Structure 1
Amino acid sequence: MWRIFQFFVLVYLSSYFRGTYTTFCSMSKMEYITDIAVSTDANQEQGLSNQHFKMINVDLNKGTKGNPVYLWYKKGTTNPITRLQAAFTDEMKSGLTKAGYHHVNGNVNEGTGDAIYFWYYKGITEYDNPIMDLKVTTAENEEAVYYRDGYEHLACDLNRNAGGNYIYLWVKKEKKMLVSDISVTTDYGLDERLFNQGYTRVDEDVNRGAGGTYSFIWYRQSQSQSNAITHLSLSTNNHNRGRPPATELYQGWC
């Protein structure tokens, strides 16, 4: 569970230190990620290349006995992808479908581990933030440079329950945004509503390895510093509820 909270703090700190940003009005001058795809064999690789997709040359199954899997993308100046999620259970997919997210064919864990699929959304609400670039890391020592450069990574290890390397997808977004709202779910009944309200799900089970129900942290971001969360704390028992926390995860802009 600590790795999830560590992810939560570090990823959203990166949004605070990101440099100046442009607005949706400048989209004609910028290039954004407009489409993504996944290949799981050589025939699919050739087909995507013929469609002018660009491949990120990192095997998403690195360190396992599964098939070589690659992420592909296209860039353009209009209609950008603004949100990106990963789903590793059938129940995680339902809310995404109902909220209008697009399913990306191709299991990134093909041949091993949990079946993981990407889902993306193209929106223009105040909570949508165009994705400008994608990177993939396969080792912890590769991560610092992306935090420094303002990237955020999806919480889901793309080799989840497959062994091999810890593999993460990183996204760089156009605008500087700060975490303004946090929620937690312990079932899937609120997923559609939260997605429609502009929340992003942190795609790892807080209860992983501990038993119990699947539980997920959600967050929503704002461009306004006045709306930003400035303290993030953790209580570890009922006695601490409503009292100053014994564990202070972070103090400052999230």
Structure 2
Amino acid sequence: MSQYVSELAVSLNQADEDQLTQKHFKKISVDLNQGDGENRVFIWYKNGNKSITRIQLTHMEDMQGGLNTANYTKIEKNLNPDKAGKPINLWSFQGPLLSDIPIVEIDVTADPHNEASKFRDGWERMACDLTRVSTGKRVYLWMKRERPTYICEVQATDSFVNDTSLFQNGFIRMDENTNRGTGGAYVFLWYRHTTGYKEAIKDLQVSIKKEEYDSFEQSSFERVTLDLNKGTGADPAYLWFKKEGSDPVQTLSVIIDPNAVALYEAAKVQVIKKNVGKSFNNLCFYR
């Protein structure tokens, strides 16, 4: 039997579940709705010979254009049917590039106690909460790939003009706006994978003060040029990366739950304790 995750689906009710079971899909038994509302929402997957290599999430119309043009497959069912706001949808892609490493397992968590250890076991976490709640339990999708991967390049965008090009060149968008809730620009971070140790990024930092900016600039760090706080009125925040060092960065994500920080740090996740935007929004990475 094939080890690859080849298809994704979403169920919103028992009829959906029965239909997907008949089609030999497997259910991840964590309700995305967490009992809040009429629907029980589950993610399903099927194994096959051709693997999904990238998964994205959209929660606003402008996020969809680049995915459509780059031929991603949209899972039409809304992950957030019982709450107000715009639909939240999953997208998948089966890529041919060297950076497209097959996904062999997926999982869902709704408790930070169950999340932190997954980094150690080689899992990659989607940056955005699947339901985008502001309080209560946050639900995240995790992926495990066929072999170890490292991050070799990071970028940032404040518009959607270059989305298609970035997707076509193998980048993965972190689908959580660093300025969420601030009224600033829609700023998204992007990263690209490699299986090569030497070309991997070895360290990541964020500057929010001039003295930090100067220090990183003098310490062999390179700067991602876009201000992560653009349009918020807050002091500029920049992401910096370094390719010198010994331990390659395997995964990059964001923490918006203050209660998760200590748990992540206990699992040796590097938490950059500098709020990006005007709310609690800390980048984190594992190496």
Give the TM-score, by structure 2 length.
Answer: 0.73
Specify the code of the residue in structure 1 equivalent to 2:65. Answer: S
- Map of 1:103-142 to 2, 5 A cutoff? 103-114=74-85, 115-142=87-114
Task: From the superposition, tell whether residues 113 and 175 of structure 1 become closer, same or farther in structure 2 (CA, over 3 Å).
Answer: farther
1:100 aligns with 2:71: yes
Among 11, 24, 27, which residue is 1:55 paired with?
27
1:205 aligns with 2:177: yes
Contact preservation (8 Å) 1:87, 1:117: yes
More helix by share: 1
Q: Which residue of 1 aligns with 2:124?
A: 152
CA distance in 2, matches of 1:213, 1:131: 32
1:59-114 Cα offsets, whole Å, 9 max, x none, are: 011152252101111012x1110110111111111101111100012111111154
Contact preservation (8 Å) 1:113, 1:162: no
Q: Which residue of 2 aligns with 1:7?
A: none
Q: Which residue of 1 aligns with 2:12?
A: 40
1:143 aligns with 2:133: no
Contact preservation (8 Å) 2:152, 2:193: yes
CA distance in 1, matches of 2:115, 2:146: 20
Q: Which residue of 1 aligns with 2:51?
A: 80
SS of residue in 2 equivalent to 1:147: helix
Contact preservation (8 Å) 1:113, 1:159: no
Contact preservation (8 Å) 1:54, 1:72: yes
Task: From the superposition, tell whether residues 64 and 131 of structure 1 become closer, same or farther in structure 2 (CA, over 3 Å).
Answer: same
CA distance in 2, matches of 1:123, 1:80: 8
Task: Tell me the CA shift for residue 244 of structure 1.
Answer: 2.4
Question: What number of residue pairs does the alignment pair up?
Answer: 225
Specify the code of the residue in structure 1 equivalent to 2:32. Answer: L
Task: Tell me the CA shift for residue 214 of structure 1.
Answer: 0.8
Among 223, 248, 253, which residue is 1:253 paired with?
248
Contact preservation (8 Å) 2:55, 2:93: yes
1:225 aligns with 2:220: no
Specify the code of the residue in structure 2 equivalent to 1:143. Answer: E
CA distance in 2, matches of 1:177, 1:30: 21
Give the 4+ runs in structure 1 shifted more than 2 A. 63-66, 161-164, 237-252
- More deviation, 240-249/99-108: 240-249
CA distance in 1, matches of 2:20, 2:207: 48
Alpha carbon RMSD of aligned pairs, Å?
2.3
Contact preservation (8 Å) 2:59, 2:88: yes
Q: Which residue of 2 aligns with 1:20?
A: none
SS of residue in 2 equivalent to 1:244: helix
* Structure 2 unpaired stretches of 5+: 220-238, 250-287
Q: Which residue of 2 aligns with 1:244?
A: 216
SS of residue in 1 equivalent to 2:184: coil
Contact preservation (8 Å) 2:56, 2:173: yes
Task: Tell me the CA shift for residue 190 of structure 1.
Answer: 0.7
* Structure 1 unpaired stretches of 5+: 1-28
Task: Tell me the CA shift for residue 129 of structure 1.
Answer: 0.9
CA distance in 1, matches of 2:145, 2:51: 11
Among all aligned residue pairs of Structure 1 and Structure 2, give the percentage whose two residues are the same amino acid: 35
- More deviation, 214-223/145-154: 145-154
CA distance in 2, matches of 1:164, 1:240: 34
CA distance in 2, matches of 1:80, 1:58: 23
Between the two structures, name the one with larger relative contact order (CA 8 Å, sep ≥ 6): 1
Specify the code of the residue in structure 1 equivalent to 2:127. Answer: A
Specify the code of the residue in structure 2 equivalent to 1:89. Answer: M
Task: Tell me the CA shift for residue 216 of structure 1.
Answer: 0.3
CA distance in 1, matches of 2:134, 2:182: 18
1:216 aligns with 2:188: yes
